[in-house]
Amino acid sequence: MHSSRRTFVLAAGSALASARVWGANDRIPVAVIGLGGRGRNHMTAYTKIPGAEIIALCDVNQAALERGQAFVSKAYNGKQPKGYADMKQVFDDKDVAAVSMPLPNHWHALATISACQAGKDVYVEKPACHNIWEGRKMVEAARKYNRMVQVGSQGRSMPHKIKAMQALKDGAIGKLYGGRGLCYKGRASIGFKPDQQTPPPGLDWDKFLGPAPMRPFNENRFAYNWHWFWDTGNGDIGNQGVHEMDIARWGMDLGLPTKVTCTGGRFIWNDQGETANTQTAVFDYGDREISFEVKNVSYINVGEIGVGNARDPNVIGDIFFGSDGTLVVEDRGFQVYKGQKREKVMDEKKDPRDDTAAHMENFLAACRSRNYKDLHADVQIGVLSADLCHLANIAYRTGRRLQFDPESQKFLSDSQADRLTTRVYRKGYVVPENV
């Protein structure tokens, strides 16, 4: 298809979608793009939400697509969704109003921008973007085409976390001076797998790689383990960690820092993975700071967050430090401790509702209101939180303390660090300068 024809089709689709007004009782037609493990979560949630209907599915892996269609068909008493192997076909489908995209990180920006150009509202998984530059392009596209773009930071829709953030705002622990995020999540070495001359039957490896460089198919670069390669992922700081980074930034009411340091490495394991399994990052805001830790190997449960046990030994959450006390928040609840004796004065438990479904319901409500400020995790919020992860990784990869200008989003006199704010995109999968 010629670019002029493609532009016309996208513009026409945008005009049609913009004209739609969804009432409270209307079921918004949704397509899910990316049907791996998280894709299953998306399908499950939407099939249980009365305000949505999955009408199409898309995946570059034929087997995953067929499994997804069978799953949704069963949920809808035999009504099977349309199946696509190319997301462009989804964007051209005038029946689709919104797309939900649990894709690998390197696809988030291009897929979101293309969906906005086609007039679709977007739910895209965290982290919002694979690098700093493309995050800005996502925000530009969302605003230009008046699209609702929700990032999958579902903590923003969890009642106890909303209450915890309000407590901080109301001065529950006094003046805030520090936030600490923890991602002590046990992982395992991925070992070594050989490159293969051809990908498995039914998998379009070219489309999977998309904006990333072309490489031979390797099992370790596919499925979940793409997280641990710089081409496609951002390590655990940009995977699990971005959830806690988002909460830390939210609670501290901060944007981007002026200085960042990050140390660590891929310790203990000798494998093909590239990203760090141990990281300590510090973000300097002058009179306040955010620190963040990743530990994927082995650790002692520090007891500050959660209670380690045989089922869930991970320590994942945030600690906020104020002039009058400490607030600890994680997925199971939050506590407030006052004074030097750490007297517990608040102890809230998690609402039993599914947090992903609640976040999707918020997304659908904004699709109806047409006001992006109704979104709990609008793309601009998600991009800023992802940027903290990117800044940490850039400091880690360059091996030095970096000074950063939040306005220009450039490093001070550091061309090597600046180069890591973007990437060289593969022909046919370029994130556009002008969205």
321 and 391, same domain (yes or no): yes
Cα–Cα distance measured from residue 23 to residue 115, given in angstroms and rounded to the nearest whole number: 22
Answer whether residue 218 is part of any domain. yes
Are both 174 and 138 inside the same structural domain?
no
Q: Which amino acid is at 6?
A: R
* Any domain includes 427: no
| Predicted local confidence at residue 13, as pLDDT | 46
Q: Are strands 28-33 and 98-101 parallel, antiparallel or unpaired?
A: parallel
Q: In terms of domains, do 197 and 333 share one?
A: yes
Q: Is residue 430 part of a domain?
A: no
- Counting DSSP H helices and E strands in the chain, the numbers are 12, 18
Residue 3 has pLDDT above 50, yes or no: no
Within a domain: 424: no
Read off the CATH number of the domain in which 67 is found. Answer: 3.40.50.720
In whole angstroms, what separates CA 163 from the centre of its chain?
22
185 and 232 share a domain? Answer: yes
Q: Which two tokens stand for residue 63?
A: 């087997």
Residues 296 and 370 both lie in one domain = no
The reply to whether 17 and 123 lie within a common domain is yes
| Mean predicted lDDT score pLDDT of the chain | 93
Return the minimum-mean-pLDDT range out of 25-29, 141-145, 319-323, 369-373. 25-29
Residues 386-393: what's their mean pLDDT?
98
My answer on whether 231 and 276 are in the same domain is yes
* Block residue for tokens 């072309």: 214
Average pLDDT over residues 387-402: 98
Please report, for residues 171, 302, 328, 347, the alpha-carbon distance to residue 167 in angstroms, rounded to integers and kept in the order given: 6, 24, 11, 12
- 363 vs 8, residue with greater confidence: 363
Answer whether residue 421 shows pLDDT above 70: yes
pLDDT at 104 over 90: yes
Domain with residue 343: its CATH number is 3.30.360.10
**pLDDT at 29 exceeding the cut of 80:** yes
Q: 192 lies in a domain? A: yes
**Each residue of 216-252: pLDDT tens digit?**
999 999 999 999 999 999 999 999 999 999 999 999 9
User: Is 70 exceeded by the pLDDT of residue 200?
Assistant: yes
- Same domain membership, residue 83 and residue 10: yes
Buried b (16+ CB within 10 A) or exposed e, 62-86: eebbebbbebbeebeeeeebbbbee
Amino acid 281: pLDDT: 98
Helix (H) or strand (E) holding 92: helix 87-92
User: Are residue 176 and residue 73 in the same domain, yes or no?
Assistant: no
3-state SS assignment for residue 309: coil
Annotate 113-130 with three-state secondary structure. HHHHHCCCEEEECCCCCC
Q: What is the number of structural domains in the chain? A: 2
pLDDT tens column, 252-287: 999 999 999 999 999 999 999 999 999 999 999 999
Range of the domain at 215: 158-350+386-419
240 and 152 within one domain: no
Nearest residue to 246 (alpha-carbon basis) of 333, 161, 123, 371: 161
Residue 306's region, left for phi above 0, alpha for psi from -120 to 50, else beta, is left
Residue 64 lies in a domain: yes
pTM of the model: 0.94
Distance of CA 365 to the CA centre of its chain: 20
Angle between helices 37-48 and 62-75 (to 10 degrees): 20
> Residue 70 domain-assigned?
yes
Output phi, psi for 114, to 5 deg.
-65, -40
Compute CA 357 distance to the chain's CA centroid, rounded to the nearest angstrom.
Answer: 16
Give residue for tokens 């039993």.
352
| Residue 13: partners with Cβ closer than 8 Å, 6 or more residues away | 91, 92, 94, 118, 119, 120
Mean pLDDT of 87-110: 98
The encoded tokens of residue 107 equal 């696809």
Asked if residue 189 is part of any domain, the answer here is yes
Residues paired with 30 in a beta bridge: 54, 98
Question: Are the CB atoms for 385 and 230 separated by under 8 Å?
Answer: no
pLDDT (0 to 100) of residue 373: 98
Do 149 and 298 lie in one domain? The reply is no
How remote is the C-alpha of 9 from its chain's centroid? 29
β-pairing verdict for 315-322 and 289-295: unpaired
| Whether 203 contacts 62, CB under 8 Å | yes
Residue pLDDT, tens place only, 42-87: 999 999 999 999 999 999 999 999 999 999 999 999 999 999 999 9
The CA distances from residue 184 to 100, 154, 336, in Å, are: 28, 19, 21
Q: How confident is the model at residue 301 (pLDDT cuts 50, 70, 90)?
A: low
Does residue 277 share a domain with residue 137?
Answer: no
